[in-house]
Amino acid sequence: MSGNGSRPPKFPLGLDKVTPTKRTSASAATLRPQRPLQEAAAEAQRRSAPTGVGLDSAGVRARMVTRLRADGLRCEPVLEALGRVPRHLFVDSALVVQAYEDTSLPIGLGQTISKPSVVGRMIELMYASPAVRARGHLGRVLEIGTGCGYQAALLSELSTRVVSIERLKPLHDKARDLLAPLRRDNLRLVYGDGRLGHAPAAPYDCIIAAAGGDDLPQAWLDQLAIGGRLVAPMLAGRGQVLMVVDRHESDWVRHVHEAVHFVPLKSGVA
Per-residue pLDDT tens listing for the chain (270 residues)? 444 444 444 443 333 433 333 443 333 333 333 444 444 444 444 444 444 446 778 899 999 999 999 999 999 999 999 999 999 999 999 999 999 999 999 999 989 999 999 999 999 999 999 999 999 999 999 999 999 999 999 999 999 999 999 999 999 999 999 999 999 999 999 999 999 999 999 999 999 999 877 888 999 999 999 999 999 999 887 788 899 999 999 999 999 899 888 878 888 999
β-strand partners of 243: 232, 256
pLDDT at res. 54: 67
Q: Are 246 and 8 in contact (CB under 8 A)?
A: no
Q: Are 80 and 51 in contact (CB under 8 A)?
A: no
6, 57, 104, 114: which one is catalytic?
114
Give the DSSP per-residue string, 103-125.
Answer: --EEEETTEEEPPHHHHHHHHHH
Q: b vs e for 149-170, b when ≥16 Cβ sit within 10 Å of the residue's Cβ?
A: bbbbbbbbbbbebbbbbbbbee
> Annotated catalytic, 114?
yes
In terms of C-beta density within 10 A (0-12 exposed, 13-18 middle, 19 or more buried), how is residue 240 classed? buried
pLDDT at res. 48: 41
**Residue 217 to residue 260: CA distance in whole angstroms:** 19
pLDDT at res. 145: 96
Q: Are 14 and 240 in contact (CB under 8 A)?
A: yes
The pTM (predicted TM-score) of the whole model is 0.79
Give the DSSP per-residue string, 206-257.
Answer: EEEES-B-SS--HHHHHHEEEEEEEEEEEEETTEEEEEEEEE-SS-EEEEEE
* Strand runs labelled E in the chain: 105-108, 111-113, 140-144, 161-166, 187-191, 204-209, 224-236, 239-247, 252-260
Going by C-alpha positions, the residue among 87, 113, 92 that lies closest to residue 179 is 87
C-alpha distances in Å from residue 99, one per residue of 55, 65, 88: 9, 13, 5
pLDDT at res. 47: 42
Going by C-alpha positions, the residue among 200, 168, 140 that lies closest to residue 265 is 168
Q: Which one of 3.40.190.10, 3.20.20.70, 3.40.50.150, 3.10.129.10 gives the CATH number of domain 54-260?
A: 3.40.50.150
pLDDT at res. 122: 97
